[in-house]
Structure 1
Amino acid sequence: MNLESPKISVDKSPEDVFNFLADIKNFESLMPENISKFEVISEDKFLFALKGMPEIILKKKEVIPPNKIVLGAAGGKIDFSLIANITEVNSDSSEVKLDFTGDFNPMMAMMIKSPISKFIETLASSIPKAI
């Protein structure tokens, strides 16, 4: 399953956006209002839970400054990635698009497609306000 957020314009350089997203504690400020738990486990790993959903641990898997950060599931039964793609518009602005990829059975994919789509859209749209 592959899902994409809309491209979000940010009035910051790609380096500024990258540095913000590379610091995982900043993800707390991007989370939706229905977050019930957020905890930084280490400098490259955090745990979060949304109301009515199981806890999810994300770990920084790949970092390509200043254009890409890949967060992946750390443990658990489900393997997925959340990829932040940062594109330079000019020296003072950039665009960010979040991609979610995961290998799910059809039943699971049908159940989680809508909540995951809303989740990555919320994360992406929160970036300009949070930086």
Structure 2
Amino acid sequence: MTTFESSVAIAKPVEEVFAFLSDLNNHQQLMPENIYNWSSSADEARFTIQNMAKLVLKVTERIQNQEILIEPAEQAPFALNMRWLTAADGAGTTAKLVVAAELNMMLKMMASGPLQKLVDHQVATLAKVLG
């Protein structure tokens, strides 16, 4: 598995950050502009990545105020999972997004840049939305 990760400090209690990330309805706010046809519930999100693929993601595990595991609910172009990790950090919270993807050499060359960009974008946007 190839991993892509980014983290940010947010001046909010860990409970508030975890509650926001735990509801997939909120994740639309974290997505870049090339995401469309978004529909979601608290546990599942469906969307299309422009010129790429349709994805259906679901929350498969929640560990209160620590971790949210999101995995494909339907066949994805490659095996992947997203893991949001939250931890109390003094007066605020550290939030970290880790995306693990099973990429062959060709996919790794094509998808590594966009996946890291997505991770960085989501984390930076989380800081703006909750900042």
TM-score, normalised relative to structure 1: 0.90
How far apart in 2 are the matches of 1:47 and 1:84? Answer: 18
1:43 and 2:42 matched = yes
Question: Percentage identity across aligned positions?
Answer: 27
For residue 96 of structure 2, what is the aligned residue in structure 1? 97
CA RMSD of the aligned region, Å?
1.3
SS of corresponding position for 1:83: strand
1:84 matched residue in structure 2: 84
Contact 2:22–2:42 (CA<8 Å) still a contact in 1? no
Using structure 2 for the length normalisation, give the TM-score.
Answer: 0.90
Deviations 1:23-64 (A, max 9, x none): 110001111122222111x43110122322211111101111
Determine the C-alpha separation between the residues in 2 that align with 1:8 and 1:106.
Answer: 30
SS of equivalent residue, structure 2 residue 60: strand
Amino acid at match of 1:4: E
Match in the other structure for 1:3: 4
Secondary structure class of the residue paired with 2:88? strand
| Alignment gaps of 5+ in structure 1 | none
Look up the SS of the partner of 2:27 in the other structure. helix
Match of 1:56 in 2: 55
8 Å Cα contact 2:10/2:94 also seen in 1: yes
Q: Which residue of 2 aligns with 1:116?
A: 115
1: CA distance between counterparts of 2:42 and 2:27? 12
Cα offset, 1:20, TM superposition: 0.3
- How many residues align? The count is 128
Matched residue of 1:127: which SS? helix
Q: What is the deviation of 1:113? A: 0.5
Deviation at 1:15, TM superposition (A): 0.8
